[in-house]
């Protein structure tokens, strides 16, 4: 089954590379003009494309990514001082002192994400780049004085990816592709350890104030470990049963409001989950943020635990 999924990913990657523009044959010195040209290529793969809020944002980021005083956002960065679960995963902490009994369903949650370009000039085509990204998510029992306000779960997600604009313009929109490797772990040991590695491909279509991204992935098999929660020698060998083999992201911006949807599904097991978010203006660059999740995989420790969560807070960065 895993080999079949990997085989299905290969045609997508090959098809995308066939849509790449031709790379420049002559090397050029890196300067502000080169960076501006590359940024313009991200936003304008051809003169016939339709305008897109998503790619305009990528273009703006491209122009500033080598500024030493600016950290380029990758995914959203937000803080939810209030996050409520209707079914806190207490079983995961059985045997860890009083954690299973005393964990509260009200906590704080935050996410911090950035990316760093590893190349300054075109690799295959103008506007492409090799980049490193890092995302940290944490769930903090901020209001739990009984347990001394511990961080219940933290997920670390480094990734290495290649991104490039595509020449295909269906419906007058813009497209691009991303191919990458991602590691995700909660940094815990023994019974609380959760981690996986995956290769992924992202195809994004954007036009006007909306964007759609499809991201299939292939979970890289792990070697056996001495201390794991299961007899198989893996932290979570069945993670794709609950997290699926792909996710679909839909973004839409209406006036000063931005809406997002991310859904995952394993159709064979009939399991999955989704996240819905909305940002709204507060003051200056500060945005309010509402988030609702439903299903499996709200965090790595909860990959096989279903729940509904609702959070409210602020967003420091958006996607559109």
* Residue numbers of the chain with a pLDDT score lower than 70: 1-50, 224-234
Query: What pLDDT shows up at residue 132?
Result: 98
Segment 78-102, tens digit of pLDDT: 999 999 999 999 999 987 877 888 9
3-state secondary structure at position 192: helix
* pTM recorded for the entire structure: 0.84
183 is catalytic: yes
- Annotated active-site residue in 185, 193, 256, 260: 185
> Which residues neighbour 204 within 8 Å (Cβ) at sequence distance 6 or greater?
54, 175, 176, 177, 178, 211, 212, 213
The CA distance from 26 to 24, in Å, is: 6
Give the bridge partners for 254, in sequence order. 257
- Annotated active-site residue in 22, 83, 113, 183: 183
Query: What pLDDT shows up at residue 45?
Result: 47
Query: What pLDDT shows up at residue 173?
Result: 95
Domains of the chain and CATH, by start = 2-20+35-315 (2.40.230.10)
Query: What pLDDT shows up at residue 61?
Result: 82
The CA distance from 291 to 62, in Å, is: 28
Query: What pLDDT shows up at residue 305?
Result: 97
Angle, helices 53-64/32-43, rounded to nearest 10 degrees = 170
22 is catalytic: no
């Amino acid at each position: 089954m895993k080999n079949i999924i990997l085989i299905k990913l290969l045609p997508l990657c090959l098809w995308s590379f066939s849509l790449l523009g031709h790379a420049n044959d002559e090397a050029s010195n890196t300067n502000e003009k080169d960076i501006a040209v590359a940024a313009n290529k991200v936003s304008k793969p051809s003169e016939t494309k339709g305008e897109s809020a998503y790619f305009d944002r990528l273009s703006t980021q491209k122009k500033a990514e080598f500024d030493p005083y600016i950290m380029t956002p990758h995914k959203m960065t937000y803080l939810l001082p209030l996050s409520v679960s209707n079914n806190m995963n207490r079983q995961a902490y059985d045997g860890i002192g009083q954690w299973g009994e005393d964990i509260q369903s009200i906590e704080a949650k935050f996410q911090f994400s950035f990316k760093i370009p590893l190349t300054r000039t075109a690799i295959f085509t103008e506007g492409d780049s090799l980049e490193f990204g890092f995302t940290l998510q944490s769930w903090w029992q901020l209001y739990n004085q009984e347990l001394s306000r511990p961080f219940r779960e933290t997920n670390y997600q480094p990734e290495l990816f290649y991104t490039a604009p595509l020449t295909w313009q269906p419906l007058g929109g813009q497209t691009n592709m991303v191919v990458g490797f991602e590691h995700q772990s909660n940094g815990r040991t023994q019974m609380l350890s959760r981690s996986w590695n995956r290769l992924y491909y992202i195809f994004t279509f954007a036009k006007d104030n909306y964007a759609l991204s499809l991201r299939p992935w292939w979970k890289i098999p792990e070697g056996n470990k001495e201390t794991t929660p299961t007899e198989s020698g893996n932290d979570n060998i069945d993670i794709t049963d609950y997290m699926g083999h792909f996710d679909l992201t839909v973004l839409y911006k209406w006036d000063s409001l931005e809406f997002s949807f991310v859904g995952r599904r394993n159709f064979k097991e009939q399991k999955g989950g989704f996240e819905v978010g909305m940002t709204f203006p507060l003051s200056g660059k500060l945005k309010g943020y509402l988030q609702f999740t439903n299903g499996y995989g709200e965090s790595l420790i909860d990959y096989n635990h279903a729940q509904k969560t609702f959070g409210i807070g602020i967003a420091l960065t958006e996607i559109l």
